[in-house]
Every structure is written in structure tokens, then in C-alpha cells.
Amino acid sequence: MEIMERIKQAIESNSIILFMKGTPEFPQCGFSSRSSQAVAACGAEFAFINVLAEPEVRENLHRYADWPTFPQLYINGELIGGCDIIMELYENGELKKMIDQAS
């Protein structure tokens, strides 16, 4: 399967998915750590893809949604953003609302 199709399928088949460096249990950068903790603190299970273990995804995800950095959070197929946006939404309570509607 071509990489762009794999990315699209991963996003469309998971209501909440975080493309991150590392895993929620063992994040490999501070931004991914804070982002995964914020999503987890909202009480929902979420899928994740470790872009360090998937170099094709890492090299091509920026082309999918024109977003250059990691992590990237998608809810119901829509790019929410990276760490700064995730943390802002978490701190003002909007992330929990978005996640509750997706779950």
C-alpha cells in the first residue's frame, strides 16, 4: 500500500490518533510526551503511530496535512494540531470536549 494511503487509512480508521515520536509509555521527545499525556488525561483511549519506528510515515506525514512538525493529533479525521495547540486546548477544556464527542 502506498504511504499516503496508509496514512489516510490510519487517520480514518481511528477516531483519535496521535502521530508522535516514541510511544505514550516511552515518548522520545518532550512535545510528544506532553501531548500524549494531555490526550490521555482527557480519559479516552487513542491510537498512536511512533514516527521514529515508521520512517516512511515520518517523511511523508507533513505532505498529508501540510503540517511540518510532530506530534500531530487527529480527531475524527481532522488535524487538530501539534503540541502547543494540544496543550492550549487541554488547558482551556476544549480538548476534553472534542475527545468526548469523538469517543
Q: Please tell me whether 21 is known to bind a ligand.
A: yes
Cα distance between residue 11 and residue 29, in whole Å = 22
Q: Please tell me whether 19 is known to bind a ligand.
A: no
Q: Please tell me whether 42 is known to bind a ligand.
A: no
Q: Please tell me whether 29 is known to bind a ligand.
A: yes
Cis peptide before 71 (omega within 30 of 0): yes
Q: Please tell me whether 58 is known to bind a ligand.
A: yes
Q: Please tell me whether 100 is known to bind a ligand.
A: no
Say which DSSP state 15 is in.
S
- Annotated binding-site ranges for glutathione: 21, 58, 70, 83-84
- Annotated binding-site ranges: 21, 29, 58, 70, 83-84
- Annotated binding-site ranges for [2Fe-2S] cluster: 29
